[in-house]
């Protein structure tokens, strides 16, 4: 069974801090994704990656960056956290590079609060 692990379930940070959210998958998947989930808005794609050191902007990349130094690890970075970035963040992975026409496997999510 695919395991996608996010480093924290709950995180509280202060405005202006640099925040790192970590995600690790154990199934040698090519693709990794970061979404944020807000009530009434569904899941919105922030960034995705189809290979090591490769990244593509999603639909709402402003205020975020990502890092993929190893195939199994995809990090989301909030350069200077703001209160409007308080949300649930979900990481996902899927098998084949460059193709989202396949199931995505999600982590448990990190509920991030920016005070």
Partner 1 sequence: GENVEQHPSTLSVQEGDSAVIKCTYSDSASNYFPWYKQELGKRPQLIIDIRSNVGEKKDQRIAVTLNKTAKHFSLHITETQPEDSAVYFCAASMSSGGYNKLIFGAGTRLAVHP
Binding footprint of partner 1 on the chain (CB under 8 A): 4, 35, 40-45, 48, 50, 56, 58-59, 90, 98-109
Query: Whose Cβ is closer to partner 1: residue 107's or residue 114's?
Result: 107
Residue that is written with structure tokens 């098998």 in the block = 95
3-state secondary structure of 85: helix
SS (H, E, C) 45-57: EEEEECCCCCCEE
Query: Whose Cβ is closer to partner 1: residue 35's or residue 81's?
Result: 35
Shortest Cβ 69–partner 1 spacing (Å):
20
Query: Whose Cβ is closer to partner 1: residue 45's or residue 77's?
Result: 45
Q: How far apart are CA 82 and CA 52, in angstroms?
A: 28
């Amino acid at each position: 069974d695919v395991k996608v692990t996010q480093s924290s379930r709950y995180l509280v940070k202060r405005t202006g801090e640099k925040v790192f959210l970590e995600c690790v998958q154990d199934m040698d998947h090519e693709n990794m994704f970061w979404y944020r989930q807000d009530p009434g808005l569904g899941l919105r794609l922030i960034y995705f990656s189809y290979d090591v050191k490769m990244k593509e902007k999603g639909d709402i990349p402003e205020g975020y960056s990502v890092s993929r130094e190893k195939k199994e690890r995809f990090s989301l970075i909030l350069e200077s956290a703001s209160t409007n970035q308080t949300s649930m963040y979900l990481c996902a992975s899927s098998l084949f590079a460059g193709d989202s026409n396949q199931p995505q496997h999600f982590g448990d999510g990190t509920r991030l609060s920016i005070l």
